[in-house]
Amino acid sequence: MIDNKLILAVPKGRILEELLPLLSKCGIEPEAAFSDPKSRLLRFTTNIPHLDIIRVRAFDVATFTAFGAAHLGVVGSNLIEEFDYSELYAPVDLKIGHCRLSVAMPEALAQNDDPTQWSHIRVATKYPNLTRKHFAARGVQVECVKVNGAMEIAPALGLAKRIVDLVSSGATLEANGLVEVEKVIDISAHLVVNRTALKTRPEAMQDWIGKFRKVSHS
Ligand code: PRP
């Protein structure tokens, strides 16, 4: 359905909990189904007649917004960098969803390993582009095996000795006998906007950017 409402894309999962209070501070109250985990709806109305919300996978927020299917989105800086879409502009650091992208490996292996000596490594990761960029800058050749989740199990099963994944509390690494050996980047969620929408609907778009900027500083 194509109409002239503005669409805000938000990710499922962890960021959502921290995002809800920010939406509320911006004056956005989604319809009740949005907070119902059993609801199969993907698009939700809000108390603001010209604004709907869609809930998609974090990876897809960047894609929906870059292609103009959503006008605004909330997404981790890791995904902005992973996709590097030219149509995506990230004007506001929302300062939520803090975590980091790191290289990790089994504890026993890490004890006898010196990351400064790496010349060619294989890693399992959801983020091959960011990983390649990071290691290219360090002069290390990297072979990325793309996986979509549960990559902490990869070293034990021989898929790759090392992984590049998100670390927040560190509990997942610890539970799987892995240790963090190198940070790739610090991450936080940003407001992203579609550049064309910014040109064609400047007033409404700037208004929302201003509101999100204000609540990110409060
Ligand atoms: C992320 C990430 C790690 C975990 C890290 O997965 O991929 O597995 O969180 O968090 P921790 O350091 O607090 O343990 P998430 O639970 O978001 O699901 P995913 O595997 O679908 O990405």
Q: Whose CA is nearest to atom 22 of ligand 1?
A: 149
* Ligand 1 atom 1: residue of nearest CA: 166
Backbone angles phi, psi at 81, to 5 degrees: -75, -35
Confidence of residue 2 (pLDDT cuts 50, 70, 90): low
Q: Which pLDDT does position 203 carry in this prediction? A: 97
**What is the tens place of the pLDDT at every residue in 16-52?**
999 999 999 999 999 999 988 889 999 999 999 999 9
Closest atom of ligand 1 relative to the 13 alpha carbon: 17
| pLDDT on residue 163 | 98
Indicate the top mutation candidate among 163, 168, 169, 178 to test ligand 1's pocket, ranked by most ligand atoms within 8 A of CB: 168
pTM listed for this prediction: 0.94
Compute the mean pLDDT over every residue in the chain, rounded to the nearest whole number: 96
pLDDT given at position 109: 95
Residues 86/106, Cβ–Cβ less than 8 Å: no
What secondary structure letter does DSSP report for 46? Answer: B
Q: How far does the centroid of ligand 1 lie from the alpha carbon of residue 167, in Å?
A: 7
Which tens digit of pLDDT belongs to each residue from 53-108?
Answer: 999 999 999 999 999 999 999 999 999 999 999 999 999 999 999 999 999 999 99
Helix ranges (DSSP H) in the chain: 14-25, 58-66, 77-83, 107-111, 128-137, 154-157, 171-175, 195-200, 202-217
Span from the CA of 37 to the centroid of ligand 1 (angstroms): 19
